[in-house]
Amino acid sequence: MLETVRKEVDDQGRIIIPKEWREELKIKEHSTVEMTKKDGEISLVPIKKKSPMDFKGIFKDVKITMEEIESAEADAAVKDFEDSRKRSIENMKKRHKNESR
Residue-level pLDDT at 19: 95
pLDDT, tens digit, for every residue of 79-95?
888 988 888 898 888 88
Q: Distance between alpha carbon 30 and the CA centroid of its chain, in Å?
A: 6
pLDDT digit string (tens) for 54-64? 777 777 777 77
Longest dimension (CA), the chain: 60
Looking at residue 18, its pLDDT comes to 94
- How far apart are the C-alpha atoms of 29 and 26, rounded to whole Å? 10
Q: Where are the alpha helices (DSSP H) in the chain?
A: 19-24, 66-99
Residue 14 has pLDDT above 80, yes or no: yes
Domain 8-48's class? mainly beta
Half-sphere exposure of 55 (CA within 13 A, CB side): 12
pTM confidence score: 0.47
DSSP 8-state symbol, 7: -
Domain residue ranges in the chain: 8-48, 49-101
What radius of gyration, in Å, describes the C-alpha atoms of the chain?
19
